Structure 1
């Protein structure tokens, strides 16, 4: 009887051979996934600095320019076309010195008409005042005649009284004399009271007329002064700047065509990034270098209005020493924001642009490994290190633009 032979399969054999390969491939995948990514870097291409304990001074630097401490604008009070120019930009001028002359025929004609109208009003008021004076004279004249009649009546009364007492004068004539005397007396008293009241009323009216005439004369003086505004003069003595009028060009009223600097002192003006707005206050002190000397300055005014991401500050020189400055001279200002304190500091570098102060490459021999850090305040020279680094450690402070995803740098 034949025996059935079972054929052996190679499936188990292949499985045993594939298993080590699978395990080895998995190991390589795992190690590749967990291995820190590294890149080779030449030392000459990077900047290495040492973390150190040093004095940290919170300060900032900015540019400021010198401007006159006091200046005054040269304004056009009456608009018109430039007819003459007597000085040039940059000239020294004295108060009241003619700078330019404008011409405006329409305005001059209007001034003439106004002047004529005012003079006519003054003449009318003078005439009214004269009429009141004449009225007083007429009343005085009438009063003199009435007083004369009264005196005649009185004399006749006294004479006829004597004649009546001696029974020479009839009773009828005596009564007529008495009545005439009474009439003249009452008439004179009434007229005197009327003249007195009229004089008082006239005095009030004349006072009012004189006041009106005074106002008219003042208006006339102002008008004549305004006519002189076509001649532009220097409001103060000093150096003329930004003065560039053009012959024949028409300038409207209240336009500024220059300024005059009194040259009695200078201040500094600077435009600063809005980031520092909350850090800068009046009375903060700083320094500028001038003629190889450090000159102390201080903030006198902070103008918080933001324009194009910047705000403006004014600084004065603390020293009373007179400095030979010129307008527009530029200074580098170092402004102290806090007192000096000793702390852990790191030299500034462009690495912070990519890391935002959250990590850095720490150098250890021929390698530099990524490490988490925390930075605090900064000034133009240093960052304040709050955590993650120790004094003496060396770090890379140059740009990390090509190393954002790298964990280790191999230094060659």
Structure 2
């Protein structure tokens, strides 16, 4: 049913006079979206407030109180002469080491030394026992006595034979004289006609036989003399042979005492009491302590700087000595993960009371440099880890990065970061090393030496 009431008409007229825009509807806003927006706004406001508070604190609070150093040491960067060194560990070693060996076999009856003992030439190391050598010596003595007896007998037989033949020759000479006299008498009687010629001929024949007999005896004597001389000479040679054998046996006995051939120190023993030492076996090792050197193990990376004749400073466990490079080995030796080269160093003066195989530490002086900018070493190096120093500028000290180099004695080389004449704090930085700048009391500083 349609209504014609005035209100209805007015409404229609109003709708005709007004233009309506279409209404576009979107997704409805949820309560969670509004919550996130509110939280974000809260955080933003809170951050602003915190920032404002921090700024106010920084503006209103007083600044950090500066650090004042009132007691310190300082040094000036100065030029100095530096000697660059190659350092290396080493061992004291004898040039001459002798292995003392047994000249004969025998059981060790006595030890006269111990490792570390000093010995002189000829000092006994040990005494051996050998029943075989003793028996051999006794047999040699018997042989000498027998040979001497044979020589004495040969001489006696020679004398007796020559004496007998001499007597026989005297008798033969007398027989010749008698035969000659008889022959003369018979010749005179024959001339007088008192005897027949046959008797004269018999006398002449008897004289001839007597002379022949004399000549035979003389020949026999000459032969006997030569034979006797040969027998005596042979017997004498046998005596000499027997005596040589006795001397050899006695020498072997004497070598049962093993003696040191050199003056030095006993490094080690190769035998113990009761053990058997074989001929040629090692009994002890003796080092000539009058010819000690240092065998240094120089890193192969540094050995190119080392040459023969360079001076060396040697530390012997607190004792100081000097030396000279004698020899550089031609090849390197593996040592763990690195390689080293053996360098032999002579002592300028042989050290006293330094046993062989003692540890040593050497500094080989390889180069001298002049005009090197340097500072004295001090506590500041440890506290700064050698990375920076504090340079004094008036009543302040400013931290400055530096680069250090080599060390020589009490000085350290300044490679970069400082200029000659600048003054540097050399006492510890531990209390202020985190500050770039500090104040210093000029009257509180004293120059380091």
Q: TM-score range by the shorter chain?
A: 0.5 to 0.7
- Distance in 2 of aligned mates of 1:277 and 1:186: 101
Say which of 61, 71, 78 aligns to 2:87.
61
CA contact (8 A) 2:87 2:298 kept: no
- Distance in 2 of aligned mates of 1:230 and 1:161: 81
Say which of 159, 167, 179 aligns to 2:205.
179
2:116 is equivalent to residue 85 of structure 1: no
Instruction: Give secondary structure in 2 for the equivalent of 1:242.
Output: strand
- Distance in 1 of aligned mates of 2:111 and 2:212: 78
Aligned match of 2:167: 144
Instruction: Give secondary structure in 2 for the equivalent of 1:297.
Output: strand
Aligned match of 1:129: 151
CA contact (8 A) 2:94 2:289 kept: yes
Say which of 321, 325, 330 aligns to 2:359.
330
Aligned match of 1:407: none
Aligned residues: 294
CA contact (8 A) 2:109 2:273 kept: yes
Gap regions ≥5 residues in structure 1: 1-53, 343-379, 382-390, 394-412
Instruction: Give secondary structure in 1 for the equivalent of 2:255.
Output: helix
Aligned match of 2:247: 221
Describe the superposition over 1:343-377 as per-residue Cα deviations: whole angstroms up to 9, x where unpaired: xxxxxxxxxxxxxxxxxxxxxxxxxxxxxxxxxxx
CA contact (8 A) 1:140 1:195 kept: no
Aligned match of 2:181: 158
Aligned match of 2:345: 315
Aligned match of 2:101: 75
Following superposition of structure 1 onto structure 2, how do residues 36-47 of structure 1 map, counting pairs within 5 Å?
none
Following superposition of structure 1 onto structure 2, how do residues 256-335 of structure 1 map, counting pairs within 5 Å?
256-261=282-287, 263-271=289-297, 283=309, 285-289=311-315, 295-300=321-326, 312-319=342-349, 323-327=351-355, 328-335=357-364
Deviation at 1:165, TM superposition (A): 1.9
Following superposition of structure 1 onto structure 2, how do residues 383-394 of structure 1 map, counting pairs within 5 Å?
none
- Distance in 1 of aligned mates of 2:307 and 2:227: 67
- Distance in 2 of aligned mates of 1:245 and 1:305: 36
CA contact (8 A) 1:288 1:295 kept: yes
- Larger RCO: 1 or 2 (CA < 8 Å, sep 6+): 1
Q: TM-score, normalised by structure 1?
A: 0.54
Deviation at 1:330, TM superposition (A): 2.6
Say which of 266, 276, 281 aligns to 1:240.
266
- Distance in 1 of aligned mates of 2:142 and 2:341: 57
Q: TM-score, normalised by structure 2?
A: 0.51
Instruction: Give secondary structure in 1 for the equivalent of 2:269.
Output: coil
Aligned match of 2:136: 114
Gap regions ≥5 residues in structure 2: 1-79, 371-405, 408-414, 418-449
CA contact (8 A) 1:70 1:264 kept: no
Aligned match of 1:41: none
- Distance in 2 of aligned mates of 1:125 and 1:307: 65
Structure whose alpha-carbon radius of gyration is higher: 2
Distance 1:291 1:252, change over 3 A: closer
- Distance in 2 of aligned mates of 1:258 and 1:116: 30
Distance 1:152 1:202, change over 3 A: closer
Aligned match of 1:400: none
